[in-house]
Structures are given as C-alpha cells and as structure tokens.
Copies of this chain bind each other. A is one copy, B any other.
Amino acid sequence: MDRVVQRAKRISLVDGEALFQQGDTATRFYLVVEGHMKLFRLAPDGNEKVIELVDTGHTFAEALMFLEQPRYPVGAVALGDTELISVDAADFSAILRDSVDLCLALLGDMSFRLRSLIREIDDLSLHSATCRVAAFILARAPADCDDFDLEIPKHVIASRISVKPETFSRIIKSLKSKNVLEIKGSKVHLLDREALEDAADVCGLPVEAT
C-alpha cells in the first residue's frame, strides 16, 4: 500500500484542461480531490455526449484495470480548476491480489456503477427530455434546502442528459412558467418540489391515467 501511495501522483488541471482522450491507453486511474471532471464520448461528427460528471471525492476509470487492452472509452477534461490523485493501475492491481476485502469493495463499487448505467439507459430510452431534466435537477438538490447552485455550465448539463442546450433552456422556461422552480444564473430555487418529482417519474404520461 505504501508503494501505491508513494507512486501516486498529484495532478492539477485548469478549467477545460484535458486529462486523457478517448482511446488513449489506460494505465492509471484517478480520484477527484477538488473540482469536477467531465467524462464524455465523441461521435464521428464531433458531437459530444457527457457520460459522467465526477464530483469531488469520487474516483473514475478504475474499472478499466481489468480489461485486456485497457483504453479509455471516454475523454476526460476538468470543469473548473481541479485537483486529482492519480494511481498506477498495476501497483493497485498488485494490492488487490493481497486483499480479498479490497476486491470485494471494488466489486461493490462496480456493481453500483453498472446499475447506474442501466438506469441511464432506461432514462434515455423510456423517458422524455423534460423528465430527464427534472430528474437531474432533483438529484442535485440537497434534501433539506430549496436553494442551491448547479456548479456546472448549463450546456454541459444539457449534454449529460442528452438534450441540446436550446431544448434544456426551453424546458426550464416551461417549468418556470408552471411555478415549479426558478433559475437565475446557476442558482436554482425550488418552488414546488413535489411537482418536480412528478415530472421526473411520471414523465410524459397523460395525467388522467388511472
């Protein structure tokens, strides 16, 4: 374990700086100490889809260690100035060999991610854009407080939930007109949490459905 820590690196990125590109060979994984990372896929036409927003305290790319020929399936850039710790996959792998518990913990972590991704697919194919917007905002809202900050540019959020910035803006406008919430800059103020929850899971369902 000492060895891992010793060989771990501290990395500082400025806003917008890339950590790796989609397709790069993966030999390390990362922990976000400060800031946010954006993981995204690029389409051949240059379109980009944000797969995951990694917040402070979370790791990413650790699931790749176990593939035969590990290449990052996504690109990674910093959102805002960001601090990372980078760990060598081989070092870490060696540790895993000595600790079944750590293995199991990792398996748990990956299970969780797997399930999140299934939810995501569900969301994309079974729910409308409005629904996804509502769910996203809800997920970011603290349980106890109706005012908070989306710490992330709106166009990035839009890509995260697979809508165009224009559409995102219009959906927000519509929610505003229904007195569900207000957004001023990046400050969100929830007016009717329940209505937002409805929008999130009722989706496009006709309200009169029994």
Contacts and interface: CB of A to CB of B under 8 A. Distances in A.
Contacts of A97: 100, 104
A contact patch SS: helix
Number of copies: 2
Given A104-B103, A107-B110, A202-B44, A49 B126 contact: yes
A66 B107 contact: yes
A73 interface: yes
A43 interface: yes
A47 interface: yes
Contacts of A44: 201-203, 205
Interface in A53-80: 63-67, 73-74
A119 B22 CA distance: 12
A51 B121 contact: yes
Nearest to A74: B118
A140 interface: no
Interface residues of A, number: 46
A121 B119 contact: no
Nearest to A108: B66
A202 B121 CA distance: 22
B100 A96 contact: yes
Given A125-B162, A126-B41, A63 B100 contact: no
B119 A73 contact: yes
Interface in A107-122: 107-108, 110-115, 117-122
Given A66-B107, A67-B112, A96-B103, 20 more contacts: A43-B122, A44-B202, A45-B205, A47-B126, A51-B121, A63-B115, A73-B119, A74-B118, A96-B104, A96-B107, A100-B100, A103-B103, A103-B104, A106-B107, A113-B114, A117-B117, A117-B118, A117-B121, A121-B124, A124-B124
13 contacts: A41-B118, A43-B203, A44-B202, A44-B203, A45-B203, A51-B122, A64-B111, A66-B111, A74-B118, A114-B117, A120-B121, A121-B121, A124-B124
